[in-house]
Amino acid sequence: MLKSAVNTPKCIAITMGDPRGVGPEVILKALQKKDVIGLGNFVVIGDRKLLPKTKIAFVDVAYRSPAEGSLKFLDKALELIKGGVVDALVTAPLSKEAVSRYKKDFRGHTEYLAENSGVKNFDMMFVSAKVRLSLVTRHVALKEVSKFITRKNVFSSIKLMHETLNQKFGITCPCIAVLGLNPHAGENGLLGKEEIKHITPAIKSAQQQGIKVQGPFPADTFFCHDKGFDGIVAMYHDQGLVLLKGMYFRNLVNFTAGLPFVRTSPVHGTAFDIAGQGKADPSSMIAAIKLAFQLA
């Protein structure tokens, strides 16, 4: 039934991800926390047999393989989002490699949700209590990264960071830092020219549009001092996430900027090696659920 009352509590959909992974476990543990369950309403989408005792609303989806299930859970969530049944989406981890064998060209939750929402400009944004960081490139092989560091792509990430901080996080005039691609941010072209050709021009274009943005900063020293920035734009996956996951892993959340709805997820993977053993830490899932309610 569609929600109609103005004061109806928010409802969050949670997809189970790969049923072989720790998704079912961290979902169950999160939904046993009083400070989580009291936030609003939930509907879990996945394999009911894996969460037989939960009293949370459940959409049981039939599937023939874990990869098919991972994708069908996500498709059902999109159906509920588009139908106005739920207010936001939290996704437990799936195996990109497994799903890509089931569906050719599958790159991950982020790209799949954007494509199915008709969105062209989107980013992975990682959110903790102290840091918000987005990536110009996402799941791209390291040897391919430089060809995606263009003035257009860097500018788009800066602009989307600015809009997201303003519209979603309520920061009126956010201050944004941009990291360089090369060691020492290229050393004035000695160690690479992407900063000169693409990153700095993108920063200047953003400044001309009234965005408070600075850089490019050398990535190896940037995090050594608190510079008071509201958001950081990194050039590639490990440049931004090695440090963030090392410092904030338990409470870090992956938020997809640019979608027409709120989607968050924990920052860990399927953890097949500990699945079913009761060892999985639900902290990142709890943080993802709380952020989804906050932003929805």
- Over residues 45-67, mean pLDDT: 94
The total of structural domains in the chain comes to 2
Instruction: Return the number of other C-beta atoms located less than 10 Å from residue 286's C-beta.
Output: 21
Contacts of 29 (CB under 8 A, 6+ apart): 280, 282, 285
**At 153, which CATH number?**
3.40.718.10
Could you tell me the two tokens for 165?
A: 């901080």
Q: Report pLDDT for 54.
A: 81
Are both 107 and 127 inside the same structural domain?
no
Are both 72 and 168 inside the same structural domain?
no
User: How sure is the predictor about 281, in pLDDT bands with cuts at 50, 70 and 90?
Assistant: very high
Are both 47 and 176 inside the same structural domain?
no
* Phi-psi sector, 87: left (phi>0), alpha (psi -120 to 50), beta: alpha
- Over residues 197-207, mean pLDDT: 98
Are both 75 and 194 inside the same structural domain?
no
Could you tell me the two tokens for 276?
A: 């079913």
pLDDT digits (tens, 9 = 90+) for 155-174: 999 999 999 999 999 999 99
pLDDT digits (tens, 9 = 90+) for 228-279: 899 999 999 999 999 999 989 999 999 999 999 999 999 999 999 999 999 9
Are both 172 and 243 inside the same structural domain?
yes
Are both 150 and 104 inside the same structural domain?
no
Tell me if 250 sits within 8 A of 211, measured CB to CB.
no
Domain interval for residue 145: 120-258
Are both 65 and 183 inside the same structural domain?
no
